[in-house]
A and B are shown apart, each in its own frame.
Chain A
Amino acid sequence: MKFDETSAGLGLRGLQIAPAQAFGAVRLVPLLREHVREDLRLETRPYGDDGPDAVGVRGLADRPDVAYFSYIPHAYVLRWSDDGTAVAARGASLSSKKQGLRTVGGVRVLHRMVRAEGPGALRFLPLHLSFEGFLSLHFGGPDVAWSEYSREALSHGLSPRRERAVLGAYVKGLEDAVRMFEIHERQVGALVFVADALAAMVCFPHPDDYRALHRALVRDFFGEIVYQYAILYDDVPAHRVAVREVEVADLAGLRAAVRRAGADWAAFTGDMAARVLREPLRWQTLHRAGPFRLRRFMSALHPDEDNHIGEAIVRDDGGELEYCKTFRLSAAQVRRAYLLDKLAQHDWDLARTAEALAVTREALLVRLRNAGFGYLLKGHVLKDLPP
């Protein structure tokens, strides 16, 4: 994955944070759209039993070189108009070929993560898009044929590279929270906190899209750490407003005080999600569709902070966020990506990388092995390393 821009976080242009609703360890924060526009709509295309097993990421449709394997419950189809007129979300009945679904050696393979389907329509796979970006980070492997790397690593790169995620339905309490959540009138998105750690941010173009896709939150996938937090923590304190009664002289004053207290909590909630909203993110543009850009992003990988990946659709004029989904990486996932980043920065030279990380070469080898990258190195290099 090559980044083409580093900029400040997703921001909340055109969105407002509404008061949070907490259920057990899950806190859902509604995001409301200030001006609802009709020129961009999202719909799901559910894949039943004969859905894709894999996605051909690179190569020909019938003979992909690189493929992404995962459980894929559905795709999103984006419909837009260039001139700002309303588009109707409509169901499509396409044949398998038209959908880009082919059988390659008994495996159902979907052609590409993002695919234009006629004018004004785009199909893409939510979250898989960003996850594929994360997996393809330095996927090519060592650029320089250092003697420590195995022949396999030099010729095929990191393949196969794999990571784990957890289905939303397995995150304890999430299903109940989603069921009991009361959707606001202009709501287009939500911040999902588990044990007050940001688990995901979702945002859709239109309130009707959100209402239709709200329950699909349990079919998204979440970081392993989110799953653990949900088990470890029973509940989170509610964001109850408090008014200082000495400051209140009449009903109008009381109304203002309550509104102020609500706004304080909204600002605080924004701070809780600062890692995706404000901190710098690295972006990659994947597709341009009329006045919209589909991009994926990754936060700067700091092993001691929370890191997120995700994808977003941004309007060109005004930079309004039309769609986004994020995924919280677990600590081990961040460590792996961080090590790869550091290796790539130093041309995969183990000695220089170890120096940059301020550890011995041996310690770096241990870290690589423990992170699951032992398969990149020759057997004798890993021999006699401490555990």
Chain B
Amino acid sequence: MTMSTQTAAARVTCEDLVVFLNACFCCTGQREFYSDGHAQTVSIEFLHDYIRGNYRRLYARTLAAGVNHFNRARIVTELLAGSRHLAPEERREEGRLIAAALRSLPAPRAYRALLAVRARGVNNRRLRAIVRDYLSARPDLKFDAIKYRDKLRDLILHTHLPLPGELGGFLFKGWRERRYAAPLLESFRRAHYSEEALYELPFTVAEGLAARRKIDRAVFLRKIAPRLTALERLRLQATAAREGVAELTIDLGRAGLTRLAIYVLSLPLGERRQRAAELRTALDAAARRCLRDAPLALGRVAAVLDCSYSTAGSPDKPRRSLAIALAVDALLRAASAEYLSFWTPAADDPLQLVPRGQTDLAGPLLDALETRPDLVVVVSDGFDNDPTGGAGEVCRVFKARLDPAGRTTIVHVNPVFDAPELGPRRLGAAVPTLGLRDAEDLPTALAFARFAAGDLSLAELEDYLARRVAVFLARADLAPEEATA
């Protein structure tokens, strides 16, 4: 009796955690095609509360499992918001994970996560130590003081940490101070009086000052071009084209895979046709670069890719699902020995994709299965409507009747979080469904597929998490004995 209760409890824990991880891979709390932002937020907040309340230790460890930035920041906030009942060694492990997670996040997200703790009214020694370590590990705090000025100031106001050099005066007096010795701070002060100094600042800061000065957008973009980061360049392509600024050319060979796919789909069809060769090479190069970081070697692979109208996404995430499908297409082509792709509705050239038409997954899935592949990857939001539930039935019957030995593995990759289902929408019980935010995370997702399929036990999941934690902490460059808090 006790034994069976324990195994049942373990199974429930395992299932809960798999649901949570899957949600954390894809949910960003933003509006999606089928549900609004509010529903998404309510849904993911519930999951965080539930898992933190019941499985605190595993909750902290999910930080290392490759969850997306939104959820990593959210977990950090939740962990820092309360830790009274924790034993010292638990607290120590959490502290190391939090420090590593903060370092792995983009700076604005990390600052926002810490400020969210402030919004909860929490201020203790643990938080102050975490913030102190985070700030001391920042490569250039002066740069942060310029670019994330409000965030850093609010954080200092909350934690009362001493700041090195002139930063204290800078944050609280700003450009009204007489003179700064540090060149970056000085150019920020001078930028309030002279136009040349404006172009020595980071783009986002200069942009606001330029708007206040009513500097012509084209002139501003031309002069700020050398200061732009790669992502800013990519983001400003449409603006540059509209304003006729030629200096903002980007090296497509260096952009990340998902970002590149989003950029490609943002171009008008005519331009995509003209630059087809260039874009195709760039996508392939990005895929290969991505595989260098996270190797993936597959045999015969077939992909069923959704380009139906629902991949148009929402105003918050325009065409994101379609971009993920396009990026996964490039990634699988680079990673597999033999590769075939099946778009639904049918599309000849992936570069000419537009989100249009109904979702028929069953037909292309059968086409894919006829080629006898080792692995079939279905990339779709899971709303299979021509006919409804067709793909789920095909998978079920195929597994039960036609492939009982399991020669072919079918995996469903879903970039969309479905709020009512508390996770990515499933095709059916026979196929594991994996949430995916960025195509670059596909290797992680495929490794997680065995858990999503429900074949493995809690012990194995804990083992998997422990290994991920070791890798995560090692990558964060944090030796165990240096860990604080």
Q: Which residues of A contact B (CB under 8 A)?
A: 18-22, 30, 180, 182-185, 238-243, 245, 248-251, 254-255, 257-258, 261-262, 265
- A183 contacts B358, C-beta separation under 8 Å: yes
CB-defined contacts of B397 to chain A, threshold 8 Å: 243, 245, 248, 254, 257
- B308 contacts A19, C-beta separation under 8 Å: no
CB-defined contacts of B366 to chain A, threshold 8 Å: 251, 254-255, 258
B396 contacts chain A at the CB level, 8 A cutoff: yes
- B402 contacts A248, C-beta separation under 8 Å: yes
A-B contact count (CB 8 A): 85
Instruction: Classify the interface of chain A: helix, strand, loop or mixed.
Output: loop
Q: With A184-B357, A245-B397 as given contacts, are A251 and B402 in contact (CB-CB < 8 Å)?
A: yes
| Contact residues of B between 257 and 310, Cβ < 8 Å to A | 308-310
B401 contacts chain A at the CB level, 8 A cutoff: yes
**Other A-B pairs, 15, CB within 8 Å; known A18-B358, A19-B388, A248-B402:** A19-B387, A20-B388, A21-B358, A22-B388, A180-B310, A183-B309, A184-B358, A185-B357, A240-B388, A241-B393, A248-B397, A254-B401, A254-B402, A261-B393, A262-B390
CA A320 to CA B401, docked complex, whole Å: 43
- A261 contacts B387, C-beta separation under 8 Å: yes
- B394 contacts A182, C-beta separation under 8 Å: no
Interface centre among B357, B386, B388, B392 (most CB of A within 10 A): B388
- B34 contacts A180, C-beta separation under 8 Å: yes
B357 → chain A closest CB, angstroms: 6
Q: With A182-B309, A238-B389 as given contacts, are A258 and B359 in contact (CB-CB < 8 Å)?
A: no
CB-defined contacts of B174 to chain A, threshold 8 Å: none
| Contact residues of B between 224 and 245, Cβ < 8 Å to A | none
CB-defined contacts of A183 to chain B, threshold 8 Å: 309, 356-358
B345 → chain A closest CB, angstroms: 7
B54 contacts chain A at the CB level, 8 A cutoff: no
CB-defined contacts of B358 to chain A, threshold 8 Å: 18, 21, 30, 182-184
B322 → chain A closest CB, angstroms: 13
B400 contacts chain A at the CB level, 8 A cutoff: yes
CA A250 to CA B309, docked complex, whole Å: 32
List 23 interface pairs A-B (beta carbons < 8 Å), by A numbering.
A18-B386, A19-B385, A20-B388, A21-B385, A21-B388, A182-B357, A182-B359, A182-B385, A183-B357, A184-B358, A238-B388, A238-B389, A240-B389, A241-B362, A241-B389, A245-B400, A248-B397, A248-B401, A251-B369, A251-B370, A251-B402, A254-B401, A255-B363
CA A255 to CA B388, docked complex, whole Å: 14
User: What does the 1/0 interface line of B381-415 toward A look like (CB < 8 Å)?
Assistant: 00001111110111011101110000000000000
The residue in chain B whose Cβ has the minimal distance to the Cβ of A237 is B388
Q: Which residues of B contact A (CB under 8 A)?
A: 33-34, 308-310, 345, 356-359, 362-363, 366, 369-370, 385-390, 392-394, 396-398, 400-402
CB-defined contacts of B394 to chain A, threshold 8 Å: 243, 254, 258
- B388 contacts A254, C-beta separation under 8 Å: no
Q: With A241-B393, A254-B394, A255-B366 as given contacts, are A180 and B387 in contact (CB-CB < 8 Å)?
A: no
CA A364 to CA B398, docked complex, whole Å: 64
Instruction: Classify the interface of chain B: helix, strand, loop or mixed.
Output: helix
B376 → chain A closest CB, angstroms: 13
CA A365 to CA B235, docked complex, whole Å: 74
B375 → chain A closest CB, angstroms: 17
- A182 contacts B310, C-beta separation under 8 Å: yes
B431 → chain A closest CB, angstroms: 15
CB-defined contacts of A185 to chain B, threshold 8 Å: 345, 357
The residue in chain B whose Cβ has the minimal distance to the Cβ of A184 is B358
The residue in chain B whose Cβ has the minimal distance to the Cβ of A30 is B358
CA A245 to CA B33, docked complex, whole Å: 34
CB-defined contacts of A248 to chain B, threshold 8 Å: 397, 401-402
The residue in chain A whose Cβ has the minimal distance to the Cβ of B310 is A182
CB-defined contacts of B370 to chain A, threshold 8 Å: 251
The residue in chain A whose Cβ has the minimal distance to the Cβ of B385 is A21
- B387 contacts A239, C-beta separation under 8 Å: yes
CB-defined contacts of B309 to chain A, threshold 8 Å: 182-183
CB-defined contacts of A20 to chain B, threshold 8 Å: 388
CB-defined contacts of A255 to chain B, threshold 8 Å: 363, 366
Interface centre among B345, B356, B366, B393 (most CB of A within 10 A): B393
A96 → chain B closest CB, angstroms: 38
- A19 contacts B396, C-beta separation under 8 Å: no
CA A184 to CA B344, docked complex, whole Å: 12
- A241 contacts B387, C-beta separation under 8 Å: yes
CB-defined contacts of B393 to chain A, threshold 8 Å: 240-243, 258, 261
The residue in chain B whose Cβ has the minimal distance to the Cβ of A21 is B385
The residue in chain A whose Cβ has the minimal distance to the Cβ of B36 is A176
CA A183 to CA B362, docked complex, whole Å: 18
A127 → chain B closest CB, angstroms: 26
CA A239 to CA B356, docked complex, whole Å: 22
Interface centre among A182, A241, A250, A255 (most CB of B within 10 A): A182
CB-defined contacts of A249 to chain B, threshold 8 Å: 401
CB-defined contacts of B362 to chain A, threshold 8 Å: 241, 258
CB-defined contacts of A241 to chain B, threshold 8 Å: 362, 387-390, 393
The residue in chain A whose Cβ has the minimal distance to the Cβ of B355 is A182
CA A184 to CA B385, docked complex, whole Å: 11
CA A248 to CA B398, docked complex, whole Å: 9
Of the residues A22, A182, A250, A258, contact of B387 by C-beta under 8 Å: A258
CA A21 to CA B360, docked complex, whole Å: 12
- B388 contacts A239, C-beta separation under 8 Å: yes
The residue in chain B whose Cβ has the minimal distance to the Cβ of A262 is B387
CB-defined contacts of A239 to chain B, threshold 8 Å: 387-388
CB-defined contacts of A243 to chain B, threshold 8 Å: 393-394, 396-397
CB-defined contacts of A238 to chain B, threshold 8 Å: 388-389
A-B pairs with the 4 shortest C-beta distances?
A: A240-B389, A262-B387, A19-B387, A182-B309
CB-defined contacts of B34 to chain A, threshold 8 Å: 180
CB-defined contacts of B392 to chain A, threshold 8 Å: 240
CB-defined contacts of A19 to chain B, threshold 8 Å: 385-388
B304 → chain A closest CB, angstroms: 14
CA A183 to CA B355, docked complex, whole Å: 11
CA A265 to CA B388, docked complex, whole Å: 10
CB-defined contacts of A182 to chain B, threshold 8 Å: 308-310, 357-359, 385
The residue in chain B whose Cβ has the minimal distance to the Cβ of A246 is B401
A386 → chain B closest CB, angstroms: 51
CA A180 to CA B386, docked complex, whole Å: 14
CB-defined contacts of A30 to chain B, threshold 8 Å: 358
CA A101 to CA B418, docked complex, whole Å: 50
CA A238 to CA B308, docked complex, whole Å: 19
CB-defined contacts of B363 to chain A, threshold 8 Å: 255
CB-defined contacts of B401 to chain A, threshold 8 Å: 245, 248-249, 254
CA A257 to CA B308, docked complex, whole Å: 24
CA A261 to CA B394, docked complex, whole Å: 12
B344 → chain A closest CB, angstroms: 11
CB-defined contacts of A180 to chain B, threshold 8 Å: 33-34, 310
The residue in chain B whose Cβ has the minimal distance to the Cβ of A241 is B387
B126 → chain A closest CB, angstroms: 45
CB-defined contacts of A261 to chain B, threshold 8 Å: 387, 393
CA A18 to CA B385, docked complex, whole Å: 10
B50 → chain A closest CB, angstroms: 24
The residue in chain B whose Cβ has the minimal distance to the Cβ of A238 is B388
CA A262 to CA B411, docked complex, whole Å: 24
CA A18 to CA B362, docked complex, whole Å: 14
CA A18 to CA B390, docked complex, whole Å: 13
B314 → chain A closest CB, angstroms: 11
CA A262 to CA B363, docked complex, whole Å: 12
